Amino acid sequence: MCFKASGRVVFDGKDVFALDARGLKALPRRVQIVFQNPTSSLNPRKTAAEIVGRPLMLHGLARHEVRDRVRATLQAVGLTDAYLERYPVRLSGGEKQRVALARAFVTEPLLVVLDEPTTALDVSVQAVILELLLKQKERLGCAYLLISHDLGVVRQVADEVLEMRSGQVCESGEIEQVFARPSHAYTAELIASVPRLPTRI
């Protein structure tokens, strides 16, 4: 089956596809992404400090400012200075995702895209990462665009939900309203398939 897509991507009142070179260069500092697989999203040849500091270096911050911001951001996601010089190979899955989170948060973005941020992690680690996400959202005052098949994760993190099936929007609305009173049969089917949905952290 083939779908045709059209539309606009509007961020902060501006059409992203209509931005000039200056606007596009500034965009990565205001919008960041956390990928599904932390192992493949980190450069194995760079230390945690280099990985987290890279977005700041690209935007021309002084070296001492980069160092201080990197340390503070790593600490904010639960990693001490002992991790600054560690390479990804010496990190657990949860630690790698913490580094990926720090890389996304270090620029203090307005929006963070979360692409299945807990799928590749053990269940016990998932809970820790979700708690970190909620704390950083409150600290920075940023917004999340969460992409996930895990309804438990969606309910913990999201305020609003937009559900899609085969490229088509089935239902959208405030999270508690959709989960309590789904109006689409597919939504009801998905919710019913989960034995027990966790409450918010």
Express each pLDDT in 160-173 by its tens digit. Answer: 999 998 888 899 99
Question: What is the SS3 assignment for the chain?
Answer: CCCCCCCCCEECCEEHHHCCHHHHHHHHHHEEEECCCHHHHCCCCCCHHHHHHHHHHHCCCCHHHHHHHHHHHHHHCCCCHHHCCCCHHHCCHHHHHHHHHHHHHCCCCCEEEEECCCCCCCHHHHHHHHHHHHHHHHHHCCEEEEECCCHHHHHHHCCEEEEEECCEEEEEEEHHHHHHCCCCHHHHHHHHCCCCCCCCC
Flag residues of the chain having pLDDT under 50.
1, 197, 201
Beta-bridge partner residues of 32: 112
- Chain position carrying tokens 């945690």: 48
Q: Report d(CA 55, CA 32) in Å as an integer.
A: 10
What pLDDT score does 131 carry? Answer: 92
**Which domains, from first to last, does the chain contain?**
20-147 (3.40.50.300), 149-201 (no CATH)
Q: Report d(CA 36, CA 115) in Å as an integer.
A: 5
Q: Report d(CA 73, CA 167) in Å as an integer.
A: 36
Express each pLDDT in 77-117 by its tens digit. Answer: 999 999 999 999 999 999 999 999 999 999 999 999 999 99
User: What is the rounded average pLDDT for all residues in the chain?
Assistant: 89
Angle at 24 between CA 18 and CA 29, to 5 degrees: 135
Q: Report d(CA 147, CA 168) in Å as an integer.
A: 15
State the pTM of this model: 0.86
What pLDDT score does 197 carry? Answer: 46
